[in-house]
C-alpha cells in the first residue's frame, strides 16, 4: 500500500514540475494539505516530512485536532462554508480563511478576531463556474466586496479562492482559473497576492494560470471516509 510519505512526495513533485512548465520559480506555490475527516496521526506524519499548512472544513472537528496538536507549529486554514454562529470560533482558531463570500461574515470575523492575534488572512470565494450548488460571490460583485473587506481592521485581505466545475481536459481546466486571475489583476487598488485554486485533479492547470496555493486532500490522504 502506498504510504502517505510517498503520496506527499509525489504531490510535491507534481507541483514542482508544474511550476517549471509555467516558467515559475521553485516554491512559488504553497501546498495546503486538506486534512478534513482524517486522523491527527496523518497530520503528524506529514508534519514530520515538513508540511506546515493544513486545511479543515468542519469547525468542531478542527478545534479538537488543534487542541490535540497544540505542540505543533501548524498554520490552520479554514476552507468550508461559514455559518454565522461559527464565526467566533473560526476567528479565534485559524490563521487563514479561504471561504468568505459575503460582507456579513467578513464583519463578524473582524469583530471577533482577538486583538492578541495577528489579523486574519482572508480569501474571498468566487463562484467562477456559476454553479448553483457552490458557494461564492460572482465576478461582477467581487470588486465591491474587496473594497468593503479591505476596510475591516482585524482582517488582512490576501486574495481569492475558487472551485471550478470539474473538467477532464487540461485546456478546459485552465479556462476558469485564467478568467479569475485576469479579472483580479485588472482590478485597481492594492494588488492581491494569493490565488487559492487547484486541487488534486487540476493543480497543474491552476499553477499554469497563477495559483499560489493548491488545496490537496485526496492526492495526499486517499479518498475520504464520511460518517
DSSP one-letter string for 31-42: EEEE-TTS-HHH
Nearest to 96 by CA among 171, 35, 157: 157
Per cent of the chain over pLDDT 70 is 96
Q: Does an H or E element contain 97, and which?
A: strand 96-100
1-10, 46-55, 182-191: the lowest-pLDDT one: 182-191
Whether 197 maps to a domain, the answer reads yes
Q: Does an H or E element contain 9, and which?
A: helix 4-21
Residue 189: its pLDDT value, please? 74
Provide the mean pLDDT of the chain. Answer: 94
Whether 227 maps to a domain, the answer reads no
Give me the domain span that covers residue 157. 4-220
Residue 1 predicted with pLDDT over 60? no
Whether 226 maps to a domain, the answer reads no
Residue 132: its pLDDT value, please? 62
Whether 31 maps to a domain, the answer reads yes
Q: Does an H or E element contain 177, and which?
A: helix 170-185
How far apart are alpha carbons 168 and 54 in whole angstroms? 26
> What CATH number is associated with residue 91?
3.20.20.10
Residue 212: its pLDDT value, please? 98
pLDDT, tens only, 17-29: 999 999 999 999 9
Give residue 180's pLDDT band: very low, low, confident or very high (50, 70, 90).
very high
Place of cell 490537496: 216
How far apart are alpha carbons 83 and 95 in whole angstroms? 18
Residue 171 CB: number of other CB atoms within 10 A?
10
Nearest to 175 by CA among 149, 154, 202, 153: 202
Whether 25 maps to a domain, the answer reads yes
Residue 133 cell numbers, joined: 450548488
Give residue 199's pLDDT band: very low, low, confident or very high (50, 70, 90).
very high
Q: Which residues contact 202 (CB under 8 A, 6 or more apart)?
A: 164, 166, 167, 173
Mean pLDDT calculated for residue range 193-217: 97
Q: Are 220 and 11 in contact (CB under 8 A)?
A: yes
Whether 77 maps to a domain, the answer reads yes
Tell me how many domains the chain contains: 1
Residue 63 CB: number of other CB atoms within 10 A?
17
Give residue 226's pLDDT band: very low, low, confident or very high (50, 70, 90).
low
Say which residue, 36 or 224, is predicted with more confidence.
Answer: 36
1-5, 33-37, 153-157, 198-202: the lowest-pLDDT one: 1-5
Give the pairing type, strands 30-34 and 213-216.
Answer: parallel
pLDDT, tens only, 41-65: 999 999 999 999 999 999 999 999 9
Give residue 191's pLDDT band: very low, low, confident or very high (50, 70, 90).
confident
Whether 164 maps to a domain, the answer reads yes
Residue 131: its pLDDT value, please? 67
Whether 35 maps to a domain, the answer reads yes
pLDDT, tens only, 64-75: 999 999 999 999
Amino acid at each position: 500500500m502506498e504510504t502517505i510519505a510517498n503520496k506527499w512526495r509525489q504531490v510535491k513533485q507534481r507541483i514542482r514540475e508544474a511550476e517549471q512548465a509555467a516558467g515559475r520559480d521553485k516554491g512559488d506555490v504553497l501546498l495546503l494539505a486538506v486534512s478534513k475527516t482524517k486522523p491527527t496521526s496523518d497530520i503528524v506524519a506529514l508534519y514530520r516530512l515538513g508540511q506546515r499548512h493544513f486545511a479543515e472544513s468542519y469547525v468542531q472537528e478542527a478545534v479538537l485536532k488543534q487542541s490535540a496538536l497544540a505542540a505543533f507549529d501548524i498554520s490552520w486554514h479554514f476552507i468550508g462554508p461559514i455559518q454565522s454562529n461559527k464565526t467566533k470560533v473560526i476567528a479565534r482558531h485559524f490563521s487563514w480563511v479561504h471561504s468568505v463570500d459575503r460582507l456579513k461574515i467578513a464583519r463578524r470575523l473582524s469583530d471577533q478576531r482577538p486583538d492578541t492575534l495577528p489579523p486574519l488572512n482572508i480569501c474571498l470565494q468566487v463562484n467562477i463556474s456559476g454553479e448553483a450548488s457552490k458557494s461564492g460571490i460572482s465576478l461582477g460583485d467581487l470588486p465591491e466586496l474587496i473594497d468593503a473587506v479591505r476596510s475591516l481592521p482585524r482582517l488582512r485581505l490576501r486574495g481569492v479562492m475558487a472551485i471550478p466545475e470539474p473538467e477532464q481536459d487540461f485546456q478546459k481546466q485552465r479556462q476558469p482559473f485564467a478568467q479569475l486571475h485576469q479579472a483580479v489583476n485588472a482590478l485597481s487598488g492594492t494588488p492581491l497576492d494569493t490565488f487559492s485554486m487547484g486541487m488534486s485533479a487540476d493543480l497543474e492547470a491552476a499553477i499554469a494560470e497563477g495559483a499560489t496555493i493548491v488545496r490537496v486532500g485526496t492526492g495526499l490522504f486517499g479518498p475520504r471516509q464520511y460518517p
